[in-house]
Amino acid sequence: MAERLLLLTSNGIKSEEMRQATVDFFNGDHCGQRLLFVDTAAEPLSATDYVEESKRALISLGFRLEENVDIKRLSTESLRMVLKKCNGVFVEGGDPYYLLYWLRTSHFKRIVADRMDENPFAYIGSSSGSVVACKDASVIKWHHLKSRFTNTIGLTDFSGLQLALVDSIYPHAHEGTKKLIKKQAKPSRKIVPIKDNQALAVTGEKIELVGQVEQTQPKQQKSSEIMLSRLTDSNRPLIARARDALTLLQSTHPDLRDSSQLLILQWAVRVLKKPENYGDTDRRNAQIQGLKILNSISQQYSA
């Protein structure tokens, strides 16, 4: 059984980032590949310029398109024959209710699933075309763009085509949709937000966010919570705990370079590090002051 290949985009492959992500997804072996272009979701809409943009973007990359195929009118066997001569399918966005209804009614789901399992066969989705490929497509009922579409076709089953090992995706995501997504997410259903010019690249069980992906800062090796537990561990040497306290202070309050607390702790660490260089009074004061500041910091950050 072949690995299933899906590129689930938010708004197609028109941007330079998504064009490159598409080339990478096909490992550069995309020129001449034939794609069935499914624009069923655009049929109920009046403004469909975006469909032609998608076609031009695909052709410019070297894909050959199987166009003007109405999946609503094809018999099961005819659709199977069309897909047999293609290397993949591009499912355009638009009315998600209308799209999901006809993909299910035309047996597209079963035929494409069989085709994907037989040989390497790619599914590229855009917007609604990406949503319906997942396990659950109920996101279309509460998506922030829901005012654009109404369920005039009477869709009642919101399960997706289940072509990808992804519960659900939320296309066209932005900062303002975080709360909405968090509210709808459940432990049994993970909703993956993807912004415009991003996509989920799925290769079997491997899932990767591609396209215009923000570079995240690496996490600090020691979080404040871990540091606090180290500060309060009386079994650890005082100098080790004092050093951790310094790290915590400097990472959370880098502007307190001249604070008395920080200066005293730095002095205590120096004494504890090389006690042989200091007298009994300094060594005793370093112990006392070090413990005092450790207790103060622990109480301050655990409050």
251-279 residue pLDDT tens? 555 444 456 767 777 788 888 888 888 88
* Sequence-ordered list of residues with C-beta below 8 angstroms from that of 215, at least 6 positions apart, any chain: none
Beta strand 206-211 pairing with 198-203: antiparallel
3-state helix, strand, coil split of the chain in percent (to 5) is 45, 15, 40
State how far Cα 267 lies from the chain centre: 46
Under DSSP, the state recorded for 71 is T
Please tell me the predicted confidence (pLDDT) of residue 54: 95
Supply angle C-alpha 268, 272, 276, rounded to 5.
125
Q: Report the 10 Å Cβ neighbour count for 22.
A: 24
Give the whole-angstrom CA distance, residue 128 versus residue 6. Answer: 14
| Integer Cα distance of 137 and 130 in angstroms | 9
Residues 149, 151, 153, 155: is their CA dihedral positive or negative?
Answer: positive
What is the rounded distance in angstroms from the CA atom of residue 63 to the CA atom of residue 69?
A: 17
Task: List, for the chain, all residue ranges whose pLDDT scores fall below the cut of 50.
Answer: 216-222, 254-257
The amino acid at residue 265 is: L
Nearest to 15 by CA among 62, 53, 49: 53
Give the SS3 label for residue 79.
Answer: helix
In this structure, what are the phi and psi dihedrals at residue 140, rounded to the nearest 5 degrees? -65, -20
> Can you read off the two tokens belonging to residue 14?
């028109």
Joined tokens for residue 299? 């109480």
Q: What is the pLDDT of residue 259?
A: 64
Q: How far is CA 28 from CA 19, 57, 64, 146, 208, in A?
A: 11, 16, 15, 36, 18
Domains of the chain are 5-211 (3.40.50.880), 224-302 (no CATH)
Query: Is the distance from CB of 32 to CB of 76 less than 8 angstroms?
Result: no
Distance from C-alpha of 93 to C-alpha of 152, rounded to nearest angstrom? 17
Residue-level pLDDT at 217 = 43
Q: Which amino acid is at 13?
A: I
pLDDT at res. 250: 60
Ramachandran region, residue 27 (left: φ > 0; alpha: ψ -120 to 50; beta: rest): left
Q: How far apart are CA 278 and CA 289, in angstroms?
A: 15
